[in-house]
């Protein structure tokens, strides 16, 4: 069974010589170059391929460098002592250079003339695929045309077999072959389409986006663990806000985060502002090289449903703490059936949510107890995101911001005496600057005047 159509393949490949493209070896990792050169010297074809070539042509700086070759995994292993073979669905060679791993893949075949491998397809999905082939077959086996570009280490040219160079110029995401068939082979490919379009600031070709409406439900059958990994790539790679907006516009958000989609569909503008601001802040932290945690972002995405369910339980007479706990357990349980969020993150999410009502109790003991909580800082940052909910939330955020700037004794005195904690209070609590005493120049006595 041929998994892709050959209708998109030009009759003659486009070969872009070194002087007509922007890829420079100084921007390729030394480890990748070592692999490419050794394969080439051993008589094998060796190409840098995929996202690395795409990003280099766009002027970016790839983090990963993948290699394609006509050498089998076993032959690759024979050339590199620091190589290990992995994978059952796709047999690959990993060449390890300290913390860097260069992934080396043998050219995939279409199955028509391939030898020395096997393919197993269940319900249209490829579950095992180790048919070797030519570079032309390998190109049409890839997912997107912009990912099917090959940098040839033998002459430093770029080879284009499917029109990827044109897509880079058009800034458009197009699939190779029939989009519906490609999505049926691997439904997560729909998320990859959105993610790469957001990352590269490309548009999605209408033919590539058309099947989303009819095939989006296939994402519910994907592995929740795999969807968790994909969600990290969507939201924690520096383009989370754009990915989120594209997921929603393409109708795919409801298949990954049904609770988020339901809450937003209720038309809560403050909630939308919270979610978008949370994603924007995360993108800004990543751009600044600061750390981020998935727990905070997932707490943002699921907040609307947790809040509404907790309020519903409270209106039915359930104790506040129990209501928030029930809502958190229910929403997290539902979400983990789609995206398998690890327990270490869900525990933090539940704590962030549970602390939100406690910010409204401005009493001395409660204030100090809350400020000593290990999740206080994350919960406070979350409170600031809620400023759009109401003027009361904005005032609470300002109060707690000022409170943290006061020395403990001044804060205790303000709370005990009913003094409002404000910018003026913080300014009044700031220690007075001591006047610096001027030091006398050396050698001067009490009666010295400084004259000659």
Query: Which residues participate in catalysis according to the annotation?
Result: 64, 66, 143
CB 85 within 8 A of CB 73: yes
* Of 2, 7, 5, 10, the residue nearest 159 (C-alpha): 10
- Three-class SS string for the chain? CCCCCCCCCCCCCEEECHHHCCCCHHHCCHHHHHHHHHHHHCCCCEEEECHHHHHHHCCCCCCCCEEEECCCHHHHHHHCCCEEEECCCCCEEEEEECCEEEEEEECECCCCCCCCCCEEEECCEEEEECCECCHHHHHHHCCEHHHCEEEECCCCCEEECCCHHHHHHHCEECECCCHHHHHHHCCCHHHHHHHHHHHHCCEECHHHHCCHHHHHHHHHHCCHHHHHHHHHHHHCCCCHHHHHHHHHHCCCHHHHCHHHHHHHHCCCHHHHHHHHHHHHHHHHHHHCCCCCCHHHHHHHHHHHHHHHHHHHHHHCCCCHHHHHHHHHHHHHHHHHCCCCCCHHHHHHHHHHHHHCHHHHCCCHHHHHHHHCCCCHHHHHHHHHHHHHHCHHHHHHHHHHHHHCCCCHHHHHHHHHCCCCCCHHHHHHHCCCCCCCCCCCCCCCCCCCCCCC
């Amino acid at each position: 069974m041929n998994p892709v159509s050959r209708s998109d393949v030009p009759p003659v490949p486009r070969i872009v010589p070194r002087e007509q493209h922007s890829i420079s070896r100084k921007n390729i990792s030394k480890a990748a170059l070592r692999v490419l050169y050794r394969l080439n010297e051993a008589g094998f074809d060796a190409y840098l391929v995929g996202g690395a070539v795409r990003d280099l042509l766009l002027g970016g700086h790839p983090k990963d460098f993948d290699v394609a070759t006509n050498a089998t995994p076993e032959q690759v292993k024979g050339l590199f002592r620091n190589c290990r073979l992995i994978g059952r669905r796709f047999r690959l060679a990993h060449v390890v250079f300290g913390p860097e791993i260069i992934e080396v893949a043998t050219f995939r075949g279409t199955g028509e003339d391939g030898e020395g491998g096997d393919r197993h397809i269940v319900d249209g999905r490829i579950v095992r695929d180790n048919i070797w082939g030519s570079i032309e077959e390998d190109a049409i086996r890839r997912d997107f045309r912009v990912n099917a570009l090959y940098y040839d280490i033998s002459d430093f040219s770029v080879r284009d077999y499917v029109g990827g160079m044109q897509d880079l110029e058009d800034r458009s995401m197009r699939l190779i072959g029939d989009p519906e068939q490609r999505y049926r082979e691997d439904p997560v490919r729909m998320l990859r389409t959105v993610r790469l379009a957001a990352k590269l600031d490309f548009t999605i070709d209408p033919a590539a986006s058309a099947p989303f409406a009819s095939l989006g439900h296939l994402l519910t059958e994907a592995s929740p663990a795999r969807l968790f990994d994909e969600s990290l790539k969507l939201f924690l790679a520096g383009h989370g806000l754009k990915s989120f907006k594209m997921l929603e516009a393409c109708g795919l958000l409801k298949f990954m985060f049904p609770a988020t989609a339901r809450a937003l569909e209720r038309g809560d503008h403050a909630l939308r502002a919270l979610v978008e601001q949370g994603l924007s802040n995360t993108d800004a932290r990543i751009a600044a090289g600061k750390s981020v945690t998935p727990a905070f972002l997932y707490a943002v995405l699921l907040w609307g449903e947790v809040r509404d369910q907790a309020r519903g339980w409270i209106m039915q007479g359930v104790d506040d703490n129990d209501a928030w706990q029930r809502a958190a357990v229910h929403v997290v349980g539902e979400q983990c059936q789609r995206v398998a969020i690890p327990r270490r993150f869900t525990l933090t999410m539940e704590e962030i949510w549970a602390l939100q009502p406690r910010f409204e109790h401005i009493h001395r003991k409660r204030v100090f107890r809350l400020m000593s909580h290990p999740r206080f800082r994350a919960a406070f940052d979350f409170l600031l995101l809620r400023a759009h909910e109401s003027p009361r939330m904005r005032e609470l955020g300002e109060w707690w911001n000022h409170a943290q700037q006061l020395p403990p004794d001044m804060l205790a005195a303000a709370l005990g005496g009913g003094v409002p904690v404000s910018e003026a209070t913080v300014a009044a609590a700031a220690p007075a600057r001591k006047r610096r005493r001027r030091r006398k120049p050396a050698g001067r006595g009490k009666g010295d005047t400084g004259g000659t």
